[in-house]
Structure 1
């Protein structure tokens, strides 16, 4: 029984808890989500109460909160209040409110929402002003004398720098005025002007501009597009109302559509308006992302009044789109635009463009209402119809051309240039083709010059060989005949040989070296020609002996047999000695030892011998293995080595010359061979 009661109590407790949960879910409502209208109502109510409520400047409420533009508004008997979460709730009334709504108010103007309540300006209670949320920081400023005026952007920044309404310029007397890229505004104390293309101010009085030179005027796409729209007439102009939000184009471009056209913007080109058939033509070739680029100016009168419109674009060849009701929108660019503009454009003798340009090879042609313009890219020449117009285009710079063309005489008519695309054109490819030709010509010329030089040197060497042969071996050139002296002297001077000492009373003339000598130690030097190795070519270097690290360096041929400088000493005069014997195998002869006798180009070799007057070298005897008396040192001119008696190999060497001592062998560049 007790167990049943326990189970019953447990069941009743669980049922009670379930009923309590159900009841709680029925009576507890979920948290309400945020309501923008309620938020706006609360903010406007708080601001209204803060201004004095029904007894304040706004008076009693007239209806509830309503959406407008990107926020909300509420009407009062003496004004209105507007709200966005970013700006808060602020009110305005009277002339300031009327000006704001005349420009489109929070829904259609480019001022944005108010950021402060309307209040007195810096010049006193007789002025009123309100600021707005647009990026260019506009303000509406009112005085009884000037009315309500908007000051914004660069002009507002400059006005603030100069002291605002309490400064030298005073209060705004008129709204801004646009003249192309220049906007200006008059104040009670002067005037401000801003050029949006070159980013410069001008002022009245002029001295005020010095205070604005370092003023930075930031620009953004929204403000620039709004300014371009105002310059085109605002909501009441040809653009009309906005058509959707602003959108990005490329990396830094932007666009804004309107009911009657579009505005395109980049930091480089600014914001510019394109409408009607000019816009249609522009977008048919790709618009701002086509090869024309972004517009660089807003569409304007083409010079023919209301019957023409023109827009300019940013491509390198400076294109324009020109519209007339007769021919529609036509693109004029590059050479055609340069020549057409030089001749006065649509108001000039060519008139308005009729159709886009055509190309035939290098010749570009475009027809205009009053004539034809052609340009040949290969010659850089214009031709025109009428023909006399071409003279005005001589030397004209053509934008967009890769290779500048030299000025040329203009042709008389467009027909003369029709076949010029077949003419010979000199360009960089031909210059590149000439490079290998010039290299070949240079190589051939160098080879010819080298060959001629070698022939001249060989011919000179052969001439010198003939002179040597005649001087040494031909009887007509012997000294006793007196013939051949000039040739022998020239040869000796050319190669640095010694001349025979001059005759004197102290030293009688030497005997003929080709005649038998009285000296019993000398050999019979009859004029018998000795076979010798072939002379080296004039272009070859003579082979010189190579010395060891501790031995004297071998002498060059002209240095062989040159004697050392003698020590100064008094010597007794002795008889003159005969001239040296001719040395076979080297192009020179050895001077005899003559005491105190003048010599030729080289001084005579001097040795300390008991018997004066002996030479330093001696040619081999008939028996080449036997040394002449007084000449024990053997030498070989081919190897540059010498051997002394008793040294290894001495007996086996066939000497070509003999020296009187080792000293003379070493002095003349020979190296010990053992």
Structure 2
């Protein structure tokens, strides 16, 4: 063997030794890596993970061992979400944008999940419900998501009212529950994503009013006046029909009302600070019907009137000083007159009587031709 052959042989031995050592180091590194990421879960959390597709499912691979959560729960973290369990709520998964929002609200402080992420009936949204097992009454909370609106939380009395109104059929939340600028109230805004107009609505809450929904043209008019910071204050009750069969819609606020009719749209009816509430209707036009009211010994009120359309339905409205309305219905005779006994308690204060036969009056706030208003004092 000559000198060149000997050199080549030595070079081959050195290269082989380096290759073997590199492979050995790589094997050690792979072993260390697999050991470092060998997380463990078992039992109900393992079963839930498998049910959701395991490593190839919505949660992806494990990113933590199973550990203890607050308030007696267990949890495990995964690549795209979490599985939490509690004896009172069961075992459920939270992931994606809803999982991110839940993390912002400090996980189980917002509640343990009582559902997996679930699709809404309209196919547009996703949600999880949660339960706060550490609080009295164990209140439930929710996070709703759509691709158009994002993920938002809703809870407490506002959530209860939203559920009463049909959940996302009232609109998907487009805010978390927020405090009003004056620090008195709370609110969520919502959006009807299934309509071309994408109408927005709200639920406002105060300790005095509770949760009150507001939507449509009346909400737009209220927003124009400055929301709760404007002259009307907070809504005190939901929108309602002025009387049975009427096209007029109305919503009452702390300092007035907003009315809507097809002929006038939404119009404001404020109450000046320090003044008594206005009469239920303005003075009618000269051609309007005229009524009078008598009081019998048994506190039955006799409402008589003339100038109504003959043989037409007549609506008699009785309002108190708090602007609460009660309606009675009768029919005018061939001469356009009425004579109707109204039985209603005569509590201390003033009752305001008026009537209409469904004729319109564009100069009236309500768009309706009302009779004169008769004020009767009750002692």
TM-score band, normalised by shorter chain:
0.3 to 0.5
Which of the pair is proportionally richer in strand? 2
TM-score by length of 1: 0.28
Which of the pair is proportionally richer in helix? 1
Larger Rg: 1
